[in-house]
């Protein structure tokens, strides 16, 4: 069955970068895209970006200057990186499959010194 | 970007009661999608393409609407339906989510 498993740190220092890996199973990254969404008490659910099956990406304009999504098809892994984190970036970060049909378990990220 | 407004923000229903929640879009969208989220868990796709039930979703759930007005209905409330429901559109970039309707059991 389809699964998305996330791995990454829970604590990030202000101004530092966040990196999360999403490892998928049950589908091929060469056939389907993977989205990234975050959830915070203040802003609810926010779509951050997507990497499509062909490797192209689309980003939310609000994050385009500090967000990067890449992947390794052979390892079924998608890599999320956001730079220059501040306190208001504290949130749960999710990866989700094509059409948001399946979601990872979420990574709670706290930005604090 | 398209803003989705859900109402009510919080509601409660007794077992067996019919429940309807709405999602209003700031501009017309082709489809609306709904997610169920329970505390401490990831959102689950619940209804997609306005009215199609995701796998495993009970038939007491239904979705309808068009243009800027959409709704999710539960024909007969059950305790397991208590959760927060979010609407979402991706007819227009970027995909956006509503603020959620928290449904509680009386």
The segments of chain A whose pLDDT lies below 50 read: none
Greatest CA separation for chain B: 39
- A100 interfacial to chain B (CB closer than 8 Å): yes
How big is chain B, counted in residues? 106
Distance CA B85, CA B81 (A): 10
Distance CA A44, CA B54 (A): 23
* A20–chain B nearest CA distance, Å: 16
What residues contact residue B7 under an 8 Å CB cut-off, 6+ apart? B21, B22, B24, B101
The tokens for A93 are 């970060």
Q: What is the DSSP letter of A103?
A: B
* A113–chain B nearest CA distance, Å: 25
pLDDT at res. A112: 94
The tokens for B57 are 């979703």
- Cβ-in-10-Å burial (0-12, 13-18, 19+) of A61 comes to exposed
Q: Which residues of A touch B33 (CB under 8 A)?
A: 100
pLDDT in tens, chain B (106 residues): 999 999 999 999 999 999 999 999 999 999 999 999 999 999 999 999 999 999 999 999 999 999 999 999 999 999 999 999 999 999 999 999 999 999 999 9
The tokens for B100 are 């959620």
Cβ-based neighbour number of residue A100 at 10 Å: 21
* Distance linking the first and last C-alpha atoms of chain A: 39
* Distance linking the first and last C-alpha atoms of chain B: 36
Express each pLDDT in A81-107 by its tens digit. Answer: 999 999 999 999 999 999 999 999 999
Is the CB of A45 less than 8 angstroms away from the CB of B88? Answer: yes
Q: What is the DSSP letter of A28?
A: -
């Amino acid at each position: 069955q389809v699964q998305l498993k996330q791995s990454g740190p829970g604590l990030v220092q202000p101004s530092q970068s966040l990196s999360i890996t999403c490892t998928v199973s049950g589908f091929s990254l060469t056939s389907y895209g993977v989205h990234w969404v975050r959830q915070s008490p203040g802003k609810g659910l926010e779509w951050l970006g997507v990497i499509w099956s062909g490797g192209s990406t689309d980003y939310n304009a609000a994050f385009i200057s500090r967000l990067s999504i890449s992947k390794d098809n052979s390892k079924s892994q998608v890599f999320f990186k956001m730079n220059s984190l501040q306190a208001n970036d504290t949130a749960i970060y999710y990866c989700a499959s094509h059409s948001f049909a399946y979601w990872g378990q979420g990574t709670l990220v706290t930005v604090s010194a | 970007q398209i803003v989705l407004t859900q109402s009510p923000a919080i509601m409660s229903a007794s077992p067996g009661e019919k429940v309807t929640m709405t999602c209003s879009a700031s501009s017309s969208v082709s489809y609306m999608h709904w997610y169920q989220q329970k505390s401490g868990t990831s959102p689950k796709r619940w209804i997609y393409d306005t009215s199609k039930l995701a796998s495993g979703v009970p038939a007491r759930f239904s979705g309808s609407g068009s243009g800027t007005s959409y709704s999710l209905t539960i024909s007969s409330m059950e305790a397991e339906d208590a959760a927060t429901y979010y609407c979402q559109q991706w007819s227009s970039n970027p995909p956006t989510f509503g603020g959620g309707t928290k449904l509680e059991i009386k």
